Structure 1
Amino acid sequence: MGLADPAFWQLPPAARLDAFASLRRLDRPAYFVERPATWLRPEQGFYALVTHDDVVRASRLPQVFASAPGVTTPEPAGWVRFLFGDSMVNLDAPHHTQLRRVVSRAFTPRLLAAADEDIRRVAARIVDDMIAERPGEFVASVASRMPFEVICNLMGIPEHYRPEIAGRVDHASENVGVERGIATRLRVPGRGLRALARMHLMMATLGRERRRRPTGDLISALVGADVDGQALDARQLGAFFSLLMVAGVETTRNAITHALALLTDHPEQRALLASDFDRYADGAVDEILRHSTPIIQFRRTVRAEYSLGGRTFRPGDKVVLYYASANRDEAVFPDPDAFDITRSPNPHLGYGGGGPHFCLGAHLARQEIKALFRELLSRPRALRAVGVPELAGSNFDNRVRALRFAFDPPAP
């Protein structure tokens, strides 16, 4: 069973980690066949980059290991890219450089300072609601709400749009990288594209409104930005919003959910974090991201001949960067399967391997995780996971469908 086999991603997490450990011991990146050759088409496959060094080096050589035509599996169809525009994750220089510059300049110090304050308010409100309502399931009631509300507030999304957007995000992303039955395979793509189209229409409407009447939010900054004569048009705004909502909400809610499970399974680490939150919080976030690795892999297309990890790659070859494997590399992380919030150094690849595609939302995600767990650990009754996270079996992200939780009994 190989990495291209959907059944591999249904294995228990420990079995998958053992398989990656075996791949890291090979003298060169292994090759996996995705589609055998037929008389109509040649064989399709990829080389797996599984060591920390290989993933970092490939990430920082975009002129060799290109993101276009797409970083996901399967790569986006040409007609989808034409209709909805290219997401930044699927672009290379100079288009990626130009678009990222526009977006980066929209994140002004004033906007980020306001976002930090809002994150603290949102975290307190969510924990208050959880204590009052006692919902019992963590993903929907806590982990999903945190990044969704923060991003909507940052963007300036009106309240009446938000319920529909939340549903559209779930529809657009619920089956990414997950093996499905034939009926679902025929049905879900259309539903996902309809959800994506609806979000783009919403953004086009809001973009027009903010151009006429800026309100100081991120949408206003993006449509008002003008870098080297370039401002975000409606398609670019829609593509950015889709990336921010699907990637930003999914990855952060999964990290938050895995964090509760990890701190429950390692009470000594939880006690250490609670004993001096300001001292240990940054290390805890780093270790959560290393241990749970929200994005499992991204794909690259080789543009120029290059030797890496004992193998020479040629133009047209496909490689897959496995961050989940790189974050357990024994050559970089002693006792890599241990969960240790004091681990130092901790050069995890939870936000990518560096280079031009380093996650734009890294600061925002870190602040959200810290703010939420500061609130959770400061309340009188401790929260704990019940059972194990219900994983989606995705080969793309470390997605959690559900996690039950409960409060510890009150102290006598």
Structure 2
Amino acid sequence: MTVPFPLSGGRAPGAPDVDLADPAFWRLPRPERLKAFAVLRELEAPVLFTPRPGTARTSGTPFYALVRHADVRAASRNARVFASAPGVTTPEPAGWAKALFGNAMVNMDGTEHAALRRIISRRFTPRLLADAEENIDALAARLVDELIAERPGDFMPSAASRLPLEVICDLMGIPAAYRPWIADRIDQASEHVGVERRGRARLRIPGRGVAALARMQFLMARLARERRRRPGDDLLSALVTADIDGEALSGRQLGAFFSLLLVAGVETTRNAIAHGLYLLDRNPEQRALLASDFERYIDGAVDEIVRHSTPIIQFRRTVTTAHELGGRTFLPGEKVALVYASANRDAEVFTDPDRFDITRSPNPHLGYGGGGPHHCLGAHLARLEMTALFRELLSRRPVIGAMGDPRLVDSNFDNRVGSLPFTFGRTFT
């Protein structure tokens, strides 16, 4: 393989050229990018990438890429040194955006993050999760009924997107009348943010749909005011009556959490579902194994789908104090990228890492963030959604299966599926 970009900061003898700071790298086919990550994992220390003038739509700040499983895991679990503030995405959230919309929990550290996460996690009570699981099972059955009756040609806007959206809205107690409107706002928030193959190169990056996010914030503020007056048996009601250090959650805090829950929860889960359907279709022996004893193999299948697809490609961290990791000493103020898409293909941890194997054990993938204080709060919910939907998809007649290759949205942030053609009538053997 030849990757026609310079490797900043050094290169291994005979290694192909790689530049993770160049948007052109993220327009390469995904298999080529994965091979480039394998090259970087063989280097003695993490490499510094410096965006070139005129191409740095993703970030103008140099960054080191952590690509080995051990390094990404260690940095994820050491938030004191590798801080999420001022932001984990590129570009970092602007100060005015935080002032207007509130700061997302994913960009917080220390006591501020711990307090907000504690309040939210306590509201995911056993009763709430039990009710959610029952609701998810019913939703999955209804959505597959609609697929069979309506037979759309694209899996993405149907079950893949609708299930996580409906689940989150049910949890939050969002009235059904608002949900199509919210779905449109989510689409607007991520519109026109893929890599353009003509004209100016532009990567898919979060946070461009400011107007759409603002409208969702206004809706959340109105619903929060209603729940303070008339609380219900839902997550939103629980959150508006919660206290942090004696003060009620502000409208901006609620809005920031709601936006994170919708954009992150819907996007990551819909993409994992789509990749999972495609992987099972292209690996019929694994599909047959899962169908033969669903309850036995589904946990392993979900983990392997998340590892293999890695819905979030990378997050950024800011170094707070001098620290040695992976053969390099990092200095305060330096930026590092935790490249989960590389860590989840590390041959030092995963035997035959490019193979899709639902029996892989152990499977210590970093698809939910690598552990530590920022481990994904919605991981359990995502697992329930994937389990329920694949149970329905594998048990129905006619059987639903992927038909064509997914259209992936070029991105340095998430492994997003733009569309996935599918058909009916296939049989699992």
Shorter-chain TM-score: what band? Answer: over 0.9
1:19 counterpart residue number: 36
Q: Is the 8 A contact 2:89 2:206 kept in 1?
A: no
Shift in Å, 1:182 = 6.9
* 2:233 match: secondary structure: coil
Confirm whether residue 403 of structure 1 aligns to residue 420 of structure 2: yes
Matches for 1:111-130 after TM superposition, within 5 Å = 111-130=128-147
Residue in 2 that maps onto 1:201: 218
Q: Which of these residues, 166, 170, 173, is aligned with residue 149 of structure 1?
A: 166
User: Structure 1 residue 381: deviation in Å?
Assistant: 2.2
Aligned equivalent of 1:40:
none
The Cα shift of 1:190 comes to: 9.8
TM-superposed deviation, 1:167: 0.8
1:92-241 alignment to 2 at 5 Å?
Answer: 92-176=109-193, 178=195, 192-241=209-258
Q: Residues of 1 paired with 2:110 and 2:337: CA distance?
A: 20
Q: Do the aligned partners of 2:93 and 2:207 also contact (CA within 8 Å) in 1? A: no
Question: Structure 1 residues 161, 182: CA separation in 2 closer, same or farther (over 3 Å shift)?
Answer: farther
Task: Tell whether 2:400 aligns with 1:344.
Answer: no
1:36–1:44 contact (8 Å) kept in structure 2: no
Scaled by the length of structure 2, the TM-score of the pair is 0.91
Give the unaligned 5+ runs of structure 2: 6-18, 55-59
Which amino acid is 1:374 matched to?
R
Partner of 2:327: 310
Q: CA 1:97–1:189 in structure 2 vs 1: closer, same or farther (change >3 Å)?
A: closer
Aligned AA for 1:243?
Answer: L
**1:29 equivalent in alignment to 2:46:** yes
| 2:61 pairs with 1:44 | yes
- How far did residue 176 of structure 1 move? 4.9
Deviations 1:276-318 (A, max 9, x none): 0000000000000000000000000000000000000000100
Summarize the Cα distance change of 1:348–1:191 in structure 2 as closer, same or farther, 3 Å threshold. closer
Cα deviation, residue 177, structure 1: 6.5
Distance of 2:236 and 2:372 partners within structure 1: 26
Change in 2 beyond 3 A, CA 1:35/1:230:
farther
Whether the 8 Å CA contact 1:35–1:44 is kept in 2: the answer is no
CA contact (8 A) 2:22 2:52 kept: no
Tell me whether 12-21 or 27-36 shows the greater mean CA deviation: 27-36
Q: 1:376 to 1:300 in 2, by over 3 A?
A: same
Give the one of 378, 381, 398 matched to 2:395.
378
1:300, 1:319 within 8 Å by CA — same for their partners in 2? yes
| Contact persistence 2:189–2:209 (CA under 8 A) | yes
SS in 1 for 2:404: strand
2:131 alignment partner AA: A
Of 104-113 and 14-23, deviating more is: 104-113
Specify whether residues 303 and 5 from structure 1 end up closer, same or farther in structure 2 by C-alpha distance, changes over 3 A only.
same
Q: Distance in 2 between matches of 1:102 and 1:22?
A: 42
* SS of equivalent residue, structure 1 residue 319: strand
- SS for the counterpart of 1:407 is strand
- In the other structure, the counterpart of 2:271 is 254
Alignment equivalent of 1:72, drawn from 76, 89, 108: 89
Q: CA deviation at 1:44?
A: 2.7
CA separation of 1:189/1:137 partners in 2, compared to 1, >3 Å: closer, same or farther?
closer
- Check if 1:360 corresponds to 2:363: no
Using the aligned pairs only, state the percent identity.
68
Provide runs of 4+ in structure 1 moved above 6 Å: 180-185, 188-191
CA distances 1:368-402 after superposition (whole Å, capped 9, x unpaired): 00000000111122221112110000110000000
Contact 1:155 1:217 in 2 (8 A): yes
Kindly state the Cα deviation for residue 410 of structure 1 after the two structures are TM-superposed: 7.2
Change (3 A) 1:73 1:180: farther
Is this contact kept in 2: 1:178–1:395, CA < 8 A?
Answer: no
Q: Which amino acid aligns with 2:212?
A: A
Structure 1's 290 and 409: CA in aligned 2 closer, same or farther, altered over 3 A?
closer
Counterpart Cα distance in 1 of 2:198 and 2:226: 42
Contact 2:90–2:206, Cα closer than 8 Å, also in 1: no
Root-mean-square deviation (Å): 1.9
More deviation in 125-134 or 104-113? 104-113
Structure ranking higher on relative contact order (CA contacts 8 Å, 6+ apart): 1
Q: CA deviation at 1:232?
A: 1.5
The structure carrying a bigger helix percent of its residues is: 1
- Report the counterpart of residue 317 of structure 2 in structure 1: 300
Task: Report the Cα distance in structure 2 between the residues aligned to 1:345 and 1:14, rounded to whole angstroms.
Answer: 24
- Show CA shifts across 1:33-84 (max 9, x none): 02459xxxxx731000000000010011111000000000111111111111
